[in-house]
Structure 1
């Protein structure tokens, strides 16, 4: 059963075309949103269509920003009822592949991986390196992270299982003329074209090759060792030497495969690292307990999706053209994991169940942690490469200018972030990006004295940064001219390059920012705007970026600016915000190391009142650190057990530093 509700022409209010609740069925199904041109912009599935679709037609202000953007872009919604969750999963997958909706998650390989392939459909199968995953009848092994890794594996395996490596044209010419192919003449091809084996014998060796590559079963090595001993006993030393070389080649192949799980385990492990804009996926292919291949994807998010939803779409992409193993380890299970398991099982050529699992402890959890670490590295590398691209940076600056209505592109941007722990150790950071790249020499750190909330901290920091902005710009030029001759003379006397003394003396912020960014939403932006107004500065634009929804807020606006999820502008603003956050956290951690109040606050059972009583009782930090457990236990509210914990925390053993838990707000 199929239903459709829409409007003939585009309007700005979804209430004009949203379906009535009673019109939507409650059965499982798949739905599609279309825009005014009829293009499918989003495909989703639901166990209960009525319940799911009603979530899209709540008041716009209650919708997630990206969902709101999709709904406002839509012109109609249609649905198709199916018989089960499994059928809904199949239909959703088919429609996503057919329509390529812009708001659905898109997985793309960050590179094209090489595979080791056996062309089993050929008369005499050959082994080859290929990036083509659609050779008819071929068996694939991998993917491998580097092409040299495939070539090295083939070289070792051909020593153990001499099979054909020559091209199809060389094979056809050799079989037609009766003369061995050139690789066969130099001992690099073991196919029938080398005139050493028949087609039937070659096929048997190929099957042994495939069996070992699929399982890395050491029983093959054991069999070859037995044959080598039999040959030696029969004084056939030449054959024994050949078998010895084959055994050594197989041992080398096994040594080059990392052992991570027991020999009987075949599984795929997926690690995911994500933020609001993108995600990186890392797949470890484990066969026979060894990592046989790796694969990675980069995902640009359009809508806000949970980790479970990301896992579901990731698996659909990963097994689009190859069968899954019996077990798959993922960081989180999707809501309809059972339907997904059924769908994956149907893709196995010989059938059998597929189990989706999460790993919390043990060897598999360790492999998952390693895969996640690799995904984290991939995401960081992706962001670094993207931000380093000149064309992307230029596009980002121009897009920021257009989106925020700036008179010119912000060539110098300053971002501020406040970090504290429960109102203590309040610090702030200022990071500077010039021409879209970080200028770390211009970074600044601020310690905010006393207790202050985020808004007051922003006011203090911006006041200190901008209070003498005009004076700095005027006096900076005058000072540079005034000291130029003296500095040059001094530099010559000291053997320094001209101008370095002036650079050391001039400890100022140097340039007026083209854009000030604060980490936060509307309240933080308004606080920053009030500070600039108090200072009489009306020509420095301000914006804020809210972390959870990635909204861009401007002073005096009740609604945020929503940038496209894949835009270079949003990517750059996010990177500046993240850099400011990192810099603030680093400063706060360094500041907390010598703060006894923070150390004591981390001890379970010590609240603010007991910390205050301890410091009052001993009068100084030095006396508290020198006190014994018995002396500390005499303080009101501190018992012997808690006193022992305090002593252990304040007096860690040598080489065993105290582990600090960092919390920021």
Structure 2
């Protein structure tokens, strides 16, 4: 700890505020809030504090700390949100590309308002709906709205089309209309206030219906359209009545989709749950208005490794509702967010009304949360697959790796090795293969490691070691494949990635040198996402926005995912394997009955033969064998 940091720690007040941690170049690493700046900031530098790997990495880089004192926790939360949005610090949990999410804007401050897509939300007297994550879906919604309600889409100055709704026109005002309506009028997509085919009052009624629709109040929209249809029919305007009928049917088709999922009562609520990957989390939000599901959106949070569920939820609520134009009276969440009371108070101030954050433990709300969480899992998997198959990003990533690692060509075939173990037992090696940046599951391999020393890789013995040796041992001493190698199904990789830092990389290089294999090999340290290369004391650090870094992370994560599933299976098999498996005549059903009744092998050994034989499906002969085999084990 340098003197500058020590000086700051000594001057921290016992007051609420935010703290800003910076590195030696003045770059903001992290922004946090605290009830007591003195207690919170000092906790990072106390030896007794058990920091997460991410926080340890951050603290090692901190060269300066600034702080801002505020009146209360809510002010601290607001200021923290503003700093995170402005500076997007590396060690904060961040919503990916939050500035690019689109909104639907109803320009109420304009004469004859328009309805269109924008990229930012302001408190400027207009109505905003969103944010949405899918621009295509926003455009489709706008197209549907325009078909249903026929509002203008032009950018003409409409201030001269009609006198003001209230008060006298400004001095010198005179009505100026366009000479003729555009095509939109003739295809029934606009009611043409530009040529006075519609009054201001009639046009305002259209915009009111648009807002009701976007608010999810579709029943009110249908009722209004039905009244217009009936009035048109009574006036013998059957063409207009038919158009109203078609609009009603279109709205009801939307309603049918919403009736599949609805909540009790007529409440507005957002239901929020998430699914996490290695360093990203997909947060799914279902929007219920008047008890009906009107839409759903998902958001990707970055930098969530080592973050608790409560921290993830709190970070999302802050970032999402800070830029959301609508806050419902109830948020139903998967887990209670950290600083729940502070966030709830902040939301109440923003909404200017009551807001409750609920984390249900049972009942219908819990079932809704579980449904939303399942959707989050599916989206996270879709995002993973989508990235893996994105050829343009893939090619860029391979070229970045070629340049960063000084390779002769983009690495078309990459192998990544990962080891999973629990306190030295059930050690598992996993290898995944990527070709042209895409996974090749048919060549994935798992290895049960019989013996692993502290060095990790150097003494690996795999159950599939013969395949590995056959693949590599036929290489020539200079690392080029021989005829025998070329006849094998597997090709040598252009790049090997080892999940680990310098130690794991050194062990891997020893193995490769013993086998006389010359393949570019790197280690990827998970804690700081640093890439180590043999013979270099300093790691390569790719920019966070680098597609190359994103690729090696994804390959590493895929190896970890592939290995951990096998590791869990081995651990499960080991847990349930017992002396009962060795007893003739004791099959799965009898084993299950014995374990269910007695609970343990020790309890069976203490039981009499009569007690064992009395179980359903057991015989005296089987009971005597159980006693005999358990007795041998003891």
| TM value normalised by structure 1 | 0.70
Q: Is contact 1:164–1:191 with CA below 8 Å preserved after alignment?
A: yes
Partner of 2:356: 355
Q: 2:492 corresponds to which residue?
A: 511
1:267/1:328 contact within 8 Å kept: yes
Match of 1:264 among 260, 263, 266: 266
Aligned partner of 1:288 in structure 2 is 290
Given that residues 222 and 248 in structure 2 are in contact (C-alpha distance below 8 angstroms), is that contact kept between their aligned partners in structure 1?
yes
- For residue 51 of structure 1, report the CA deviation from its aligned partner: 1.9
Q: Secondary structure at the match of 1:26?
A: coil
Matching residue of 1:176: 176
Per the alignment, residue 82 of structure 1 pairs with 70
Residue by residue over 1:213-247, the C-alpha shift from the partner in whole angstroms, topping out at 9 and shown as x without a partner, is 31324255346557766887898867765654443
Superimposed CA distance per residue, residues 384-407 of structure 1 (whole angstroms, 9 cap, x where no aligned partner): 2678422222223443x38xxx99
Equivalent residue, structure 1, for 2:349: 346
Equivalent residue for 2:580?
Answer: 613
Hey, what's the Cα distance between the residues in 1 that align with 2:429 and 2:106? 59
Aligned counterpart, 1:577: 556
The residue aligned with 1:301 is 303
CA distance in 2 between counterparts of 1:14 and 1:62 reads: 21
Deviations 1:621-653 (A, max 9, x none): xx725879999999955877997799xxxxxxx
CA deviation digits over 1:302-361, x for unaligned, max 9?
98543333333333332334232222233433321111122222222xx11222233455
Q: Does 1:395 align with 2:400?
A: yes
Q: 1:242 to 1:566 in 2, by over 3 A?
A: closer
Indicate yes or no: 2:395 matched with 1:432.
Answer: no
- The answer as to whether partners of 2:96 and 2:300 remain within 8 angstroms in 1 is yes
1:487-498 paired onto structure 2 within 5 Å? none
Contact 1:277 1:565 in 2 (8 A): no
Match of 1:324 among 323, 327, 345: 327
**Residue 31, structure 1, aligned to residue 19, structure 2:** yes
Deviations 1:519-551 (A, max 9, x none): 467776676566567x46586676655667767
Question: Residues 441 and 549 from structure 1, CA distance in 2 versus in 1: closer, same or farther, beyond 3 angstroms?
Answer: same
**Alpha-carbon distance, 1:167 to partner:** 4.1
Counterparts of 1:380-419 in structure 2, within 5 Å, are 380-381=384-385, 383-384=387-388, 388-399=393-404, 401=405, 413-418=414-419
- Provide the C-alpha distance between the structure 1 equivalents of 2:505 and 2:136, rounded to a whole number of angstroms: 53
- Equivalent residue for 1:214? 215
Whole-angstrom distance in 2 between the partners of 1:244 and 1:514 = 64
Q: 1:77 to 1:227 in 2, by over 3 A?
A: closer
Check whether the contact 1:326–1:353 (CA below 8 A) recurs between aligned residues.
yes
1:370 CA drift (Å) = 4.2
CA offsets 1:386-430 (integer angstroms, 9 cap, x no match): 78422222223443x38xxx9999775433345689999876433
Structure 2 distance, partners of 1:66, 1:425, is: 27
Q: 1:33 touches 1:42 (CA, 8 Å); kept in 2?
A: yes
CA distance in 2, matches of 1:315, 1:102: 19
Does the Cα contact within 8 Å between 1:412 and 1:514 map onto a contact in 2?
A: yes
Quote the Cα distance in structure 2 between the aligned partners of 1:385 and 1:626: 45
User: Which one is further off, 297-306 or 86-95?
Assistant: 297-306
* TM-fit CA distance, 1:460: 0.9
Q: Please state how far the C-alpha of 1:378 moved relative to its aligned partner.
A: 5.6
Which one of the candidate residues 21, 33, 45 is aligned to 1:57? 45
Alpha carbons 1:268, 1:285 under 8 Å: kept:
yes
Q: Is the 8 A contact 2:283 2:298 kept in 1?
A: yes
> 2:33 aligned to 38, 42, 45, which one?
45
SS of 1:511's equivalent? Answer: coil
Query: Aligned-residue CA RMSD in angstroms?
Result: 5.1
| Correspondence 1:333 to 2:374 | no
Residue 302 of structure 1 contacts residue 566 of structure 1 at CA under 8 Å; is this kept in 2? no
From the superposition, tell whether residues 196 and 556 of structure 1 become closer, same or farther in structure 2 (CA, over 3 Å).
Answer: closer
Counterpart residue number, 1:137: 125
1:277-311 CA-partner distances (Å, limit 9, x unpaired): 33333433332344434444444429854333333
Deviation at 1:47, TM superposition (A): 1.6
Alignment partners' CA distance in 1, 2:266 and 2:617: 46
Per the alignment, do residues 238 and 560 of structure 1 end up closer, same or farther by CA in structure 2, a change over 3 Å counting? Answer: closer
Q: Is the 8 A contact 2:54 2:527 kept in 1?
A: no
Count of residues paired in the alignment: 587
In 2, the alpha carbon distance for the partners of 1:169 and 1:353 equals 40
Instruction: Name the CA distance, whole Å, in 1 between partners of 2:75 and 2:240.
Output: 57
Normalising by structure 2, we get a TM-score of: 0.73
Q: Give the equivalent residue in structure 2 for 1:201.
A: 202
* 2:369 counterpart of 1:365: yes
Q: Is the 8 A contact 1:330 1:357 kept in 2?
A: yes
For 2:28 and 2:139, locate their aligned partners in 1 and report how far apart those are by CA, in whole Å.
Answer: 44
1:398 & 1:64 partners in 2: Cα distance? 33
User: Hey, what's the Cα distance between the residues in 2 that align with 1:87 and 1:283?
Assistant: 26
Instruction: Give, in whole Å, the separation in 2 of the partners of 1:294 and 1:372.
Output: 11
Distance 1:161 1:476, change over 3 A: closer
Structure 2 CA distance for aligned equivalents of residues 418 and 600 of structure 1: 18
Structure 2 vs 1, CA of residues 312 and 261 (structure 1 numbering), >3 Å: closer, same or farther? same
Asked if 2 retains the 8 angstrom alpha-carbon contact of 1:329 and 1:368, the reply is: no
Q: Cα 1:259–1:629, aligned 2, differ >3 Å: closer, same or farther?
A: closer
Q: Measured at CA, do residues 354 and 144 of structure 1 come closer, stay the same or move farther in structure 2, by a change above 3 Å?
A: same
Measure how far apart 1:60 and its partner are. Answer: 12
Q: In the alignment, is the contact (CA less than 8 A) between 2:99 and 2:119 conserved in 1?
A: no
Q: Which 10-residue stretch deviates more, 134-143 or 41-50?
A: 134-143
8 Å contact from structure 2 (residues 151, 191) kept in 1: yes
| 1:96 and 2:100 correspond | no
Alpha-carbon distance between aligned partners in 2 of 1:283 and 1:631, rounded to the nearest angstrom: 46
Between the aligned partners of 1:155 and 1:542, the Cα distance in structure 2 is 52
